[in-house]
Structure formats: structure tokens, C-alpha cells
Chain A
Amino acid sequence: MQMPTPDQTILSRKDHIVRRLRTVLPDDAVIDAPEETRAYECDALSAYRCPPLAVVLPASTKEVAAALKICHEEGVPVVPRGSGTSLAGGALPTEDSIILGVARLNRVLETDYDNRFIRVQTGLTNLSVTGAVEDEGFFYAPDPSSQLACAIAGNIAMNSGGAHCLKYGVTTNNLMGVKMVLMDGSIIDLGGPCADMAGLDLLGLICGSEGQLGVVTEATLRILHKPEGARPVMMGFDSNEEAGACVSDIIKAGILPVAIEFMDRPVIRATENFVGAGYPDVEALLIVEVEGSEAEIAQQLARIIEIGQRHNPVEIRESGSAEESARIWAGRKAAFGAMGQINDYMCLDGTIPVSQLPFVLRRIGELSGEYGLGVGNVFHAGDGNMHPLILYDANKPGDLEKAESMGADILKLCVEVGGCLTGEHGVGVEKRELMDAQYNADDLDAQMAVKDVFDPAWLLNPAKVFPLAATAQRRARPMAAE
């Protein structure tokens, strides 16, 4: 993976730049000692590392604005960082960049149950948003699996999803407004407690823009009352085709579960060895969860089980208690950890049309044979968002490259069958060079034109999302001011 050559003129002006940043931020909010900047050298895509020039940790929107203004004047690239949990390298710095971390922006600003929103600073973690409202019976719906650690800022940047988005949608469907700082230091508000926008849907454009258009410092988020209850059913099948057809039939029957999770045999076996959730040894396992009152849950589960019975299930196990529910979910929740016990793995995130599930799973199996790398599949089946886990050995020379190559083949396959490269993790640096597989030059140009408007000098997180060659001219910075 390539990153742009660092700008030597910026490196040589490091002391000057850091000094200027210290004029607008408290001393401890500007980090430039090499032993301390190292903590920011990577995110959760830890195969790639590079310490930044310096790190700033502003504690208010004003401080963010002041820091960005200086970086803008100095022509220094800025890489915004939430909690550093990106699996796509969204917060990976370059040597000549400033990391702008939002960790100190961690206050709840307003909760409004009558109007069903919460306004927070974006360094707050996803789970603590729900934590702030759950005493009143409310929750914030998007629930990425890193929710204990991941920041709302990163959720907005990547338009994060989660296990329950089949019913509740992803971040963009639950984001009502933002306060954000543009690269030149100007502060804007988009959306708010109203349902829609006065003009163009710039809020929708910001969400998922991977920190390339501005730094979001405050967010207004929709909160919902918790359902009365939730309960899953587990269904095991001897073929991926049957499991896939079952998913389709559930949806066609007019049932909208909150989650339909799918695991294949390698993952089932790995989790059984790891946590012993009591899963049957089958080709494909579905966990389907529904919500509502006890009677509503029972009725929906009965319909789902009836549909499952039509697809030659090996086993169907309906949860009858909180303990049984926890047990059914235990394997799924431990799936990534269980695969990690076997070997290093690379987690992909392509999305496919649900109808292509059996074909894509078969083809992934073939690719696994061709490359000689094991692969397990665990994913959100209701919305086709796959998470193939490619097993490799990081200590074995060439294995990472082989895994990356296989990953690229799988993602191109996702695009070929009508899907996309990434459903919820983002492009970052990881899938940047694959964008050509999904979009042609005009499509990409239309996207890059947006960045031209928000960040004309291409200083915000510049080496991400788009193929490096496509952005080379835009990233050229003759202007670095003295």
C-alpha cells in the first residue's frame, strides 16, 4: 500500500507549526514528542503505521477551528481521528500530517425526550450515547461492533452501521444535525432538531465522507424508545442455498426482523471451540431476532420458524429466556475473536444483493482453495453486508500480500454481482485503489468535486477514499505558506 511522499518543506517547518498550534491550544493539547505521537501511528488497520508530525487534542469547537485555521495557513494536511477504531485506515496519518483527535470533545450537551434527540460532542463513544438516555428507556440505534470504543465522530465519518440496521438504518438515517469546522476554520451548522434540511442535503453528504470535508464537533442524534423486548431464534441448514432462500422468504413474508445474522461452517466451528455456544455443526447458521411485546415476539418467531421449516433445517432453536438469548448470541458476538484464535485475519466488508448469497459464498470457497488461505463468513444477511474473514499468518513473508490480493478479488466479485466494496467500514486507504472497480472516472470526478468545494486545497485526510493517481493533481500543494 502506497502513501504520498511526505512534503519535506512541512517536515522542516515542524517546530514553527507546533509553536503556532501552542498559541491557540493548551500545552498538553499539542503532542509532538516522537515517543508520544507513536500512539497515533495507526488505527485498527494496524498493518500500516506512520507517526504523524504532531497531534492536537482540542477541547472545544473554537479550538478545533483555531487549529484548522493554522494548518490551513501553513498548508499542513490534517487527519481527523475519532477513537482510532477504523478497519479501513481512515485515521492513518502521514509523516507530514497533523492528527486532530476529538477525544476531549466528550460532553453530552442536550437531551430532549419530547423531541427525541440528543446533542453530543463527537468524541463521545457510541455506547455512551445510549448510556446517557437509557435510564429514560431510550437508545441510540446504530450499534457497530466496536461501539464500546468507537467515537460518534468516526461513526459519522464512516456512516457506521451495526447488527440492527435492517430495522433502524445506519448512522445517516439517525443523524439529524451537525456542527462542523471546515478546513479554513469556519464553523457551520447543518440540520438540527428539525426533520429535514432547508436546502441541499449537505448533512447526508457529510455523513460517510471519511473526514475529508470537515471536522464534525457536535452531533444531533435521533433517539428511540427501547422496544418492550427482543428474542432470537437460531436455525441451522445443510446448505448455504437453503439458508439464503430462507432469508429471502422471511423478508418476502412481510416480517422485518431487527437482525438476521449468518455464519458459515468455518466460523461456527471456530466459535464452538472458543465459547461453546452449542451451535450445531452445519453448513450455515442463521440468527434471527425480532422485537416487541412478548405476544408480538412469539407471533413473529412462529412465522419465522414456519418459514424455516420449509427449508429442511437441521435444527431450530427458539430462545425462551434471556439466558438462552445470550447463549445464541454468544457465538456470533465472539466470532471475530474466535477466528483470531486460529490465525491473523483480514476482515472484508463488501455488500451484495441478498439473492446472490449462495453464488458468492461458493465463489469465495473456490478463491480460498486457489489462494490456499482459509476463510470464514459471518455477516448481516438481511442487508447483504458480508464480512469474509481471510486467515493468514502475519509472520509469514508474503502472506499478508496474498490475503490482500484475495480480498481484492472478493470485493471485485461483490461489485460484479451488483454490490459494493464496503457496506459499513469505509474506503479509507484499504480499498482506495479498488474504487475504479465500482466507479468510472466521471463518477469519481463528481465525488472529488465535492471535496474541491469543501476543502479546495485538499488538506483534510487527503490520501484516502480515491485512487492516489486520481487525486495526485488535486493534492499537489505549491502554496505552503511561510
Chain B
Amino acid sequence: MMVTSESELAEAIAGAKGPLQVVGGGTRLPVSGEVLRVGISGVKLYEPGALTLVVGAGTPLAEVEDLLAAEGQRLAFEPMDYRPIMGSEGEPTIGGVVAANISGPRRVQAGACRDFLLGVRFVDGQGRVIKSGGRVMKNVTGYDLVKLMAGSWGTLGVLSEVSLKVLPAAEAVATVVVHGLEDAAAIKALSRALGSAYDVSGAAHIGQGTEARSLVRVEGFADSVVYRAGRLRELLGGFGEISVEDDPARNAALWKRIRDVEDFAGRAGDVWRLSLKPSDGPVAAAALRAAFGAEVIHDWGGGLIWALVPAGADLRAAMGDLPGHARIIRASADTVARLGRFHPRPAPVARLEAGLKEKYDPRGIFNPGLMG
């Protein structure tokens, strides 16, 4: 079932006879239920001078990005494209990005999708149209349901419209590359860079042995980028051999590779995503390699690990007592059913989440079991 307006969406939900699988572009793992495709598309308002964009939730992400690029602006949270690792087709939508709070490498500097979400309109489980937030950057009027909806994966309501803060695109970019570091040294180097005054907008570590590369990105006006890349080069000089990549196209390709986890695309095995305290990144990576022979990519200065492991592996067991959580990104339906896609929450928190689910979706029809 495809809806193209908010009123159609409300009608479809009010009249639903059973579970609904809420879908934007359909680029991620499916759940059970009748497909409810949100095709509410189109730009309602774009004011570059106010850094504000209001769009239908079903608007293709590519359309949004093209529109912004034409004005020299962008979505600063750098949403990833799931298609390469999922092997999926379909057109990612902005509503899907918001619903899953998808945020890329620039999260370390700019923040996550939820930090740029100014307002939402959604339809709850009873078919009521609800709005929260608005189109202005500072808004503390009532509870922040905007944050609640971001990352709720369509389990509390179905987004019909989103308002986003956008930012200027950078005039220039450079990546300081440290070669051949072990994980522990690499994360130390990334921490040093992120803890500097040089406004680092990406901090990732890929590969192992001599092929290992620790990547530190700076963006902004051209002179400023040259200056900060130079200072970072000095700052990280003690860690190992250093080069600076300043070619725009090669930088774009490099960070797209990190953002979209391209290294795991088309390869056998399950893909997991671990959220950790950055300095625990190397500890977790070592545990995953020892337990499963995992292949690991560090992003967010060590705070995010992408892991490729043999099918059916349970990474949560291998995490031990490390604070953080692990989510299945790609695995068989059996594995998802056995382990749960989302990391279990402590009982009192789970009770609150269940309470909210009960209030917003009393019939339990939205993406049943997805976050549970």
C-alpha cells in the first residue's frame, strides 16, 4: 500500500486491520506486516538564508541533496546510503533517514540527524496527525517529541513531514592520513585530533598492518583547511608516517567509502554496528577478532565500529562488560529472530519504551518487534 498525502496516511493507519511494515525507500532489512510505503514527497519550504528545509517524509534523499547542493548547502550529518552493504535497491527517503537517525562520519563534529531535526509531523497508531517542534532552530516549547521520533524506526508513528536545519557545504576539504598504526595507537591519534582546536569533521581508522590508515578530516574555507591540516600534521607527527590528501574528488570517494561501509559490500557474513566509548574501540575490536575473526572499521574516533563476522555470530556476548550497544545491520531472518536487531535495554528503560509504544501505537501495528 502506498500513500501520497498525510490524509491518506492517516486513513490507511486508522483503517489498518493488522501489522504494518513502514517503508520509505525500502533499502534496509524488512520486517513482517503489510507494506505501508510513505510516498509523501515534495519540498514545502526551503530558505537558504535561514538554513531551513521542510519536506515530505517520502522525498528521495537524492532530491534533497541536489536541492541543497544547488545553493551551496548540505545535510551536515552526512547520512549513509545503506544500499551497498544491504545489497538492496530502492530510493532512500529523507523520512527513512530521520526514522533511523542515520548519521555519518561528520557526526563527531556536526552531530547526528536528530541534532538537525527541527520538527516533525507524524500519524500515530490511532490515525491522529501529530506535530512537534517546528521550523525554527531554537524551540523548547513543550516536550521534544522530535528527538523521540528520530531513531524510533517507525515504531511509534509514521512520519509525514520533517523540518531540518541545513548547513553550508564546505569550500574545501583535506584528510590527514597516518599510515600503519595498530588500533590502539590509531584511536589515540584520532582522540588527539578530535580533542584539538582544529575542528575535525571526520576521524576513522581502516585496515590493518601496513595497510592501516587513520583518517582525520578537516573542512571549511580553503586557507583555513590548509592551516588546520598543517597543524594536525604536526600534532600527529609522532604517531607515524603522515600524508595529506587534499584532492576534492579523492576525499569525497574516501569518506563515502567510510560512510557507506563500502568495504563490506557484497561480501558474505553478517554486518553489525557497535556504539562504544571511543577509547574502548580497540578493546572491542580485539575481542571481535579473537572471537570471530571479525573484520573491523572504526569511525567516530573509535566510538563506532562496523564489524563483518561469520553468519550467526553473537557480538553482544563478545562485548563483555564494555559500556555500549551492538545492533544487527545485516543478517539472516533467523539470526535476527534469535538475537534481536537492537541491543536489549535494562528492564526499567525497556519498561519506559514499552509504555511509550503502548501510548503511541496501542494496537501494536507499527513495525512489530523491530526495536523490541
Task: Give the interface of A toward B (CB within 8 A).
Answer: 112-116, 137-138, 158-159, 161, 165-166, 169-170, 172-173, 182, 186-190, 192-205, 207-209, 225-228, 247-249, 251-256, 292-293, 295-296, 299-300, 351-355, 380, 383-385, 418-427, 431, 435, 438-439, 442-444, 446-447, 449-454, 465-466
Contact = CB atoms under 8 A, between A and B. Distances in A.
A137 B278 CA distance: 20
Contacts of A226: 197
B66 interface: no
Contacts of A189: 346, 349
Contacts of A353: 47, 50, 52, 135-136
A197 B276 CA distance: 10
B136 A384 contact: yes
Contacts of A188: 346, 348-349, 352
A355 B49 contact: yes
Interface in B301-345: 303-304, 323-325, 327, 342-345
A462 to B, nearest CB: 14
B251 interface: no
Contact of B138 (A197, A209, A383, A451): A383
The 4 lowest CB-CB distance pairs between A and B, nearest first, are: A204-B147, A248-B49, A254-B168, A423-B138
B142 A196 contact: no
A227 B142 contact: no
A449 B186 CA distance: 46
A353 B46 CA distance: 12
Given A351-B138, A423-B140, A450-B359, 7 more contacts: A173-B115, A189-B349, A194-B325, A200-B353, A423-B138, A449-B356, A453-B352
Contacts of B196: 225
A112 B72 CA distance: 37
B210 interface: no
B132 A420 contact: no
A247 B49 CA distance: 8
B12 interface: no
B275 A201 contact: no
Contact of A351 (B131, B137, B151, B352): B137
Given A205-B147, A439-B142, A115 B277 contact: yes
B345 A447 contact: no
Contacts of A225: 195-197
A355 B195 CA distance: 36
Contacts of A351: 136-139
B239 interface: no
Contacts of B349: 188-190, 199, 202
Contacts of B42: none
Interface stretch (B13-21, B32-40, B221-229, B288-296): B221-229
Contact of A200 (B134, B152, B194): B152
> Taking each of B49, B136, B342, which has the highest tally of chain A beta carbons within 10 Å of its own beta carbon?
B136
A158 B144 CA distance: 11
B271 interface: no
B216 interface: no
B87 interface: no
Given A194-B324, A201-B151, A169 B115 contact: yes
In the complex, which of the residues B49, B51, B114, B350 has the most CB atoms of chain A within 10 Å of its own CB atom?
A: B49
B138 A251 contact: no
Contacts of B156: 200
Contacts of A113: 195
B14 to A, nearest CB: 13
B48 interface: yes
Given A200-B152, A204-B144, A454-B352, A420 B303 contact: no
B129 A442 contact: yes
Given A196-B112, A295-B223, A424 B352 contact: no
Contact of A204 (B114, B141, B356): B114
B173 interface: no
Contact of B143 (A205, A296, A352): A205
A292 B219 CA distance: 13
B147 A172 contact: yes
B371 A199 contact: yes
B208 interface: no
B148 A418 contact: no
A227 B197 contact: yes
Contact of B142 (A202, A384, A444): A444
A192 B50 contact: no
Interface in B66-102: 71-72, 101
A115 B49 contact: no
Contacts of B344: 198
A112 B187 CA distance: 14
A114 B134 contact: no
A296 B224 contact: yes
B138 A424 contact: yes
B221 A384 contact: no
B282 to A, nearest CB: 12
A204 B148 contact: yes
A247 to B, nearest CB: 8
Given A197-B151, A200-B371, A420 B136 contact: yes
Contacts of A201: 101, 114, 147-148, 150-152
B50 A419 contact: no
A170 B139 CA distance: 10
B300 interface: yes
Contacts of B275: 194-196, 198
Nearest to B327: A198
**Of listed A173, A195, A453, residue having the most chain B CB within 10 A:** A195
B323 A192 contact: yes
11 contacts: A114-B195, A173-B111, A192-B277, A195-B275, A196-B275, A200-B371, A205-B147, A251-B48, A293-B224, A351-B136, A443-B130
Contacts of A112: 279
B145 interface: yes
B136 A383 contact: yes
A112 to B, nearest CB: 8
Given A199-B353, A201-B151, A204-B150, A115 B191 contact: yes
A110 B348 CA distance: 25
Given A172-B144, A225-B197, A450 B356 contact: yes
B154 to A, nearest CB: 12
Interface string B112-128: 10110000000010001
B131 A443 contact: yes
Contacts of A165: 138
A214 to B, nearest CB: 10
Given A195-B112, A201-B152, A249-B49, A158 B131 contact: no
A166 B136 CA distance: 12
B137 A198 contact: no
A255 to B, nearest CB: 7
B152 A296 contact: no
Contacts of A295: 223-224, 227
A299 B245 CA distance: 23
B265 interface: no
B145 A296 contact: no
Residue among B145, B188, B197 with the highest chain A CB neighbour number at 10 A:
B197
